[in-house]
Amino acid sequence: MRLRAVLCDHHVFFAALLAVAIHLGMAVPQAASAEPLKILALGDSLTSGYGLTPGEGFTDQLGQALKDVGVRARVINGGVAGDTSADGLARLDWSLADDPAVVIIELGGNDALRGLDPKVTKKNLDRILTKLQQQHRAILLTGMLAPPNLGDEYGASFNPIFPALAKQHDVAFYPFFLDGVAGNPSLVQADGIHPTAQGVAIIVQRILPALRQTIDGARSTD
């Protein structure tokens, strides 16, 4: 009985203390926060961080950029060098093993480099988008442009794939993943394709607003 009285006294004391803290506008300790938002970046070598050291790649820099603006997230590196849209589709299920709420799709560049039929690329990406939407995941689709050396006819067939799919599926869209970097020798590696760490920083800076809108959309549907 004496122990119960002591415990009750402590309960009353802490309740009173909490009331005073609220009245004075003092910060009140919160319960442990929820798990970080999981974001999967599904892509090829541009996502995986080809030629870069740990911390310099797209997912690492994106994770840090989100942290800097107060977004608590874990960015999952789902990039595999050399992957085409077909490869991305084939590994989609196991890439989603961590159950991300948001998925960034960066695929199609290798399709263009190999001169694959744009109709096939579009079909693969359409199937990826369809599956992700059926699972109620928020999506940011990033676009790619065909290399000029493939000719105007190929570019005219390939380049419109991405905005058309974004409109069809009504998902967030970032028109060109390498915007501000492609064609700038100071921002790409010796191969002329893959961005340097500085190039990645520019990509992250430019894509961040679109990603934050996608994240806000995902949270509003929770």
Question: Among all residues, which ones are annotated catalytic?
Answer: 45, 191, 194
Give the 3-state secondary structure of residue 139: strand
Q: How far apart are CA 73 and CA 213, in angstroms?
A: 14
* Contacts by 187-195, CB closer than 8 A, 24 or more apart: 189/51, 191/51, 194/45, 194/46, 194/50, 194/51, 195/46
Residue of 110, 108, 88 whose CA lies nearest to 40? 88
Burial of 122 (0-12, 13-18, 19+ CB in 10 A): buried
Q: Which two tokens stand for residue 145?
A: 């442009």
Distance between CA atoms of residues 207 and 178, nearest Å: 10
Can you tell me which residue has the tokens 């999981």?
38
Contact 33, 68 (CB under 8 A): no
